[in-house]
Structure 1
Amino acid sequence: MKNSERLSSEQPLQIDIVSDVVCPWCVIGYRQLAEALKRTNTLYEIHWHPFELNPNTPPDGLNLREHIMQKYGSTAEDSKDSRIRMTAAGAEVGFEFQFKDDTRTYNTFNVHQLLHWSDQQGRMHDLKQALFTAHFTNNRNVSDSTVLADIAADIGLDRAEALAVIEDQRFAKDIREAVQRSKEQGIQSVPSVIFKGRHLVSGAQGVENYISILQQLAKMTD
C-alpha cells in the first residue's frame, strides 16, 4: 500500500507489518500507526506479512473467551476487562469491535493464502482491512472458504478465482515459508512493525508513541 496523497521525490518510509487478522491489537495498532502517519504527513509504503496467531485452531474455530482463558490462564473477569479495553481502543481510532459471548477465533492459514493472491492484484491492503472488519465487527467465519470468497468479491476481486486459490492451496508453500522467515527474524508476537527493514517495534504503541517513532526515524540518515 502506498500513500499517494503526497507528491514528492522523497523516498517513502518502508514499513513492514507482520500480523494476523484474528489479532485485535493488530487492527488497533495499524489504525494507530495510520493516524500517526497522517498527522506527521509521512510518505510511506506498507507491506503486510503473515503470522499465524493460533495455527492449531480447528476448522470450526474456538470460542474466543474460552480460548484466551485457557491460553493465558486468565479469568472470565480478566477477559471481560480486556474486551472493554480493546473496544475502547478500537473506538478511539475508528474501528468497531462487536465482541459477543459466542465470538470465535479461527484458523487463518487460508486467509493468508488469499491475501498473498490479492497482493498480486494490488489489493492486499484493502482485503486485509475488509477481513479485520468481517472478523471483529461482523463476526464472520474467516476460515470458511465461501465466506472468504465473498469478502474478496465485496472489494471487487474475482470470487471464482478467490475460491480456487483456497481450494487448490496453491500458495500454501509461500505462506509457510513467509511465516518461518518471520520466526527466524525473532518475531514471536504480533503486531510487529519493522521500519526501514531494521527497526522493529512490537505491539500496538498508541498514536503519540508512533508519532514519536516516526519523528525519530525522520531524523536518521540512512
Structure 2
Amino acid sequence: MTAPAPLRIDFVSDVSCPWCAIGLSALEQALRQLDGVVQADIHLQPFELNPQLPAEGEDATEHLMHKYGIGMAQVEANRAVIRERAAALGFAFNVGVGSRVYNTFDAHRLLHWAELQGRHLALKKALLRAYFTDGEDVASHEVLVRLAGEAGLDRDEARRVLETGAYAEDVRAQEAFFQQRGIRSVPATIVNGTHLIPGGQPPEVFEQALREIAAAAPG
C-alpha cells in the first residue's frame, strides 16, 4: 500500500475575509476526500485586508462601498453569492446591514501563538464563526480570550499574549514574506512552497489540484 504523500500547505488568509472562510472549509472538505492519499501539514499565514482600521472598526457596508467604489445593491449581490457558497459548505454567513469590519492584527498574533500549541485550526475556525456567523468583535481582547478557551487553549496565557503585544514582529515578518512572494489577495493556498491555488475555490478544485501535486511529488 502506498503511503500518503506529505504536503505542506500554507493557507494565507484574513479573519475578516469571507472567501477565506469559504476557502478553508472547501480545503478541509477536499482533504477529507483525499484521506489516505495525502497527509497535509497546514500552516495558517497572516494577511490583513484592512491594517489601517481602528480598534472599533467600521460599518462593513460603508467600508465595502468606499473601498471598491460600488453601491449598496452590488454589496448585497456579492453577499448573496457568498452566502450561497458558504451554505453549501455548511458555514452560516450572516453579515449584512449593521455588520462591522474590525482590525484583525491581534487575532493574527493569537493565531501565531495557537499554532505553537497545535490549536491554530481550531482557533481559526472559531474566529471565522464568531465574525461571520455570530457578528462578534474579533478585535476585542475579551472575545479573543473566550474563543481561545473554546479552541482548547489556556485563557490566561491567551490574555497575556494579547496584553503584552507578543508575536507582533513574527506576524509582521510573515506578512512581509508572503507579500514579497507576490501574494496580493486572499485566500492563497501554497502547496509545498511552489504551487499556488488562488481564491476560495470549490472543494473539487482543491481536491483535483492536491491530487495532481501529490502524484507528481517525488516518491
TM-score class, shorter: over 0.9
What residue is the counterpart of 1:63 in the other structure? 59
Q: In structure 2, what is the Cα distance between the partners aligned to 1:220 and 1:12?
A: 12
SS at match of 1:217: helix
Aligned length: 216
What residue is the counterpart of 2:191 in the other structure? 195
What residue is the counterpart of 1:12 in the other structure? 6
How much is the aligned-residue C-alpha RMSD, in angstroms?
Answer: 1.5
What residue is the counterpart of 2:32 in the other structure? 38
Q: In structure 2, what is the Cα distance between the partners aligned to 1:119 and 1:221?
A: 26
Once the two structures are superposed, the pairs formed by residues 28-177 of structure 1 within 5 Å of their partners are 28-41=22-35, 42-177=38-173
- Could you list the per-position Cα deviations for residues 144-169 of structure 1 after superposition, in whole angstroms to 9, with x for gaps in the alignment? 11111111112222212111111110
After TM superposition, give the deviation of residue 8 of structure 1 in Å: 7.3
Residue identity in the other structure for 2:90: G
Q: In structure 2, what is the Cα distance between the partners aligned to 1:199 and 1:126?
A: 25
- Could you list the per-position Cα deviations for residues 25-51 of structure 1 after superposition, in whole angstroms to 9, with x for gaps in the alignment? 001011112112222333211111111
Q: Percent sequence identity over matched residues?
A: 40
Q: In structure 1, what is the Cα distance between the partners aligned to 2:26 and 2:186?
A: 14
Which stretches of structure 1, 4 residues or more, deviate above 6 A after TM superposition?
A: none
Change (3 A) 1:8 1:133: farther
Unaligned runs of 5+ in 1: 1-6
Please give the TM-score of this superposition, normalised by the length of structure 1: 0.93
Residue identity in the other structure for 1:174: D
Q: In structure 1, what is the Cα distance between the partners aligned to 2:108 and 2:86?
A: 23
Unaligned runs of 5+ in 2: none
- Could you list the per-position Cα deviations for residues 179-209 of structure 1 after superposition, in whole angstroms to 9, with x for gaps in the alignment? 1111111111100000111011211121222
SS at match of 1:48: strand
Q: In structure 2, what is the Cα distance between the partners aligned to 1:36 and 1:136?
A: 22
